[in-house]
Amino acid sequence: MYTLLTGPVFYISLGVCIIGMIVRFYQYFNGLSWQLDRVAYKQFPGMGFKGAMRSIYKWLIPYGTYGWRSQPVMAAAFFGFHIGAVLIPLFLIAHNVFLREKLGFSLFTISTPYADWLTWIAVICLFFLVLRRLVLPEVRILTDRKDWGILLISIAPFITGMLARYQVGDYSFWLTAHILTGEIVLLAIPFTKLSHVFLFFASRAQLGMDFGIKRGGIKGTKMAW
C-alpha cells in the first residue's frame, strides 16, 4: 500500500492536479469575452494588468482590504488556516525530503517547531470555520453537502499528519493515511471547489481587470477591488 501510494499514485495525483489546473486556467482565460463580460481586456493590457495585480495583492494581505477589515475575526480564521494550508504542504522538511526522493528537487524548508505552530493554528482556525458554518444563519443557508465534503477533504491530511507527527498509536498507519488523504486533495483540486487554490487568482484578476479597465481604474483612483 505504502509503496503504491508513494509511487504511481503519487505521480498520478500530482500530474492530475497540475495538468488539470493548467487546463482549467486555460479554459478560464480563453472563455473570457470582451463583449459578454463587457471589459476591453485586450485594448488596455497595461491597465488590466495593474488592476489584476492590485486586486490579487490586496486580498492576499491580511486586513489589506476593507472587506477583510470589516470582518476581523473571520479574516483571522481565514488567514490562520490558509497560511498553514499553503506553507505546510510546500515547505515542511519531511515533505521536501520526500519531494527530493521522488522528483529530484526540493524547496525551501521551515523548521519543525515553526511548522508545528502553523499546523496547530491551521487546525484550530479550520475548526472555527466549521463552527461558523454551523452557527451563523447567513453561512448555514449557503452550506450544502459538497461544502462539508470539501472541509473533510481539507482537514484530513492535517489530522492524519499530526497523528503521525506525534506518533499517536500506529505511526505507519497514520503516515499511510496522511499520504492517501494528501493525494485525495491533489486529485480533488481540479474538479471541486478546491480549484480555488488556482482559480482564486484567475477570478480576482478578472475583477481587477474589470475595475482597472472599465469601472474606475482610468480615473486614477486607488481603490482595492
Measured from the CB atom, is 98 or 200 closer to another protein? 200
Is 141 one of the binding residues for another protein (CB under 8 A)? Answer: yes
List, in sequence order, every residue forming a beta bridge with 110; answer none if it has no partner: 92
Decide if 161 contacts 119 (C-beta within 8 A): yes
Is 213 one of the binding residues for another protein (CB under 8 A)? Answer: yes
Q: Would you tell me the crossing angle of helices 112-135 and 72-91 to the nearest 10 degrees?
A: 140
Direct distance between the N- and C-terminal alpha carbons of the chain, in angstroms, rounded to an integer: 48
Is 46 one of the binding residues for another protein (CB under 8 A)? Answer: no
Shortest Å, Cβ 61 to another protein:
12
Read off φ and ψ for residue 132, nearest 5 degrees.
Answer: -60, -40
- Please state, in angstroms and rounded to a whole number, the distance separating the CA atoms of residues 130 and 127: 5
Is 126 one of the binding residues for another protein (CB under 8 A)? Answer: no
Is 131 one of the binding residues for another protein (CB under 8 A)? Answer: no
Sole window of 40-48, 85-93, 116-124, 168-176 interacting with another protein (rule: CB under 8 A): 40-48
Is 142 one of the binding residues for another protein (CB under 8 A)? Answer: yes
- List strand residue ranges (DSSP E) for the chain, in order: none
Tell me if residue 92 falls in helix, strand or coil: strand
Within 10 angstroms of residue 152's Cβ, the number of other Cβ atoms is 12
Shortest Å, Cβ 26 to another protein:
10
Measured from the CB atom, is 108 or 219 closer to another protein? 219
Measured from the CB atom, is 34 or 173 closer to another protein? 34
Measured from the CB atom, is 27 or 111 closer to another protein? 27
Shortest Å, Cβ 167 to another protein:
34
- For residue 149, give the C-alpha cell: 465534503
Tell me if residue 43 falls in helix, strand or coil: coil
Sole window of 3-11, 92-100, 106-114, 207-215 interacting with another protein (rule: CB under 8 A): 207-215
- Please state, in angstroms and rounded to a whole number, the distance separating the CA atoms of residues 107 and 216: 40
Measured from the CB atom, is 78 or 98 closer to another protein? 78
Read off φ and ψ for residue 110, nearest 5 degrees.
Answer: -110, 150
Which positions touch another protein (CB under 8 A)? Answer: 27-40, 43-44, 55, 59, 65-67, 70-71, 74, 78, 136-144, 147, 193, 195-196, 199-200, 202-204, 206-208, 210-211, 213-221, 223, 225
